[in-house]
Amino acid sequence: MSTRARAKTTTVASWNVNGLRAAATKGFPEWLAGTSADVVCLQEVRALPSQLPESLVNPPGWHARFAPAERKGYSGVATLSRRAPEVATVGLGIPDFDVEGRLLTTRHGALTVVNGYFPNGNGKERDNSRIPYKLDFYRAVFDALAPAFERGEPIVVVGDFNTAHRPIDLARPKTNEQTSGFTAEEREELDRWLRAGWVDSFRTLCAEPDRYTWWSARFGVREKNVGWRIDYALLSPGAARHLVDATIEASVLGSDHCPITVTLDRAVLSSEVP
């Protein structure tokens, strides 16, 4: 996108970095320096701000907000923005979710950006025992956003949703129907969001298969593109009417996930509710 075109748009990027300290040694600073995004949402930060170097707590040219988990080395999200957000809200106000550092909401003009690290449904024994907790989190976020959504406000929900929505969104759907991330009940919850009017920005613009955002760390899996699309930018109708572009940056390494972006017409920042 040209400099002139970027001046007329605003871009939100999202990346599950699978440990910000680790990503910092694998190209994250260079990616951040080169991105044209105005807001960058990170998931699975896995560190308290006090455990991070100053260059990550206060990256030059960025305003950073953190929502860490209480448990060290686990979960956590962070949002970086070129301009300080007018409002930054940590969590949902529900202790069972907020202790895991899974949600950070920021306001940029009229645009609300929700940075979410949605739970994995796997229990300690990979037994799908956390699916009820995961679905409760989905529903709590949905309900928390409902008033603004119904008022027609522009909202972007980005992050690692830990669910592949349809067979096109993972390389091996048949063998994963009982795997958390592709069970019928998890997929139905994403269906419920879309039926309510939320818009999957990437699929609105791209119907191609083999477009993934996460790959197992097992040797050769990413090279063979045996992946899952589990990172999304969902838009409220108030944001979707400003949609310009949505991308998956599959060539960017440094994590088992890759970054995604959604670009909106800059008018969304001063959008009036219809």
* H helix and E strand count, the chain: 9, 14
Q: Which of 38, 127, 136, 160 is flagged as catalytic?
A: 160
Is 143 labeled as catalytic in the residue annotation?
A: no
- Pairing type for strands 39-43 and 9-16 reads parallel
| Geometric angle at alpha carbon 94, from 92 and 98, rounded to 5° | 70
| Cβ 159 vs Cβ 232: under 8 Å | yes
Residue type at 96 in one-letter notation: D
* Spatial distance between the Cα atoms of 220 and 193, rounded to a whole number of angstroms: 34
* Spatial distance between the Cα atoms of 77 and 125, rounded to a whole number of angstroms: 25
8-state DSSP, 157: E
Q: Is the dihedral of CA 125, 131, 134, 136 positive or negative?
A: negative
Q: Six-digit token pair at 226? A: 């045996």
8-state DSSP, 230: -
3-state secondary structure of 63: strand
Contacts for 131 with CB less than 8 Å, ≥ 6 apart: 121, 180, 183, 185, 186
What amino acid positions are annotated as catalytic residues?
Answer: 160
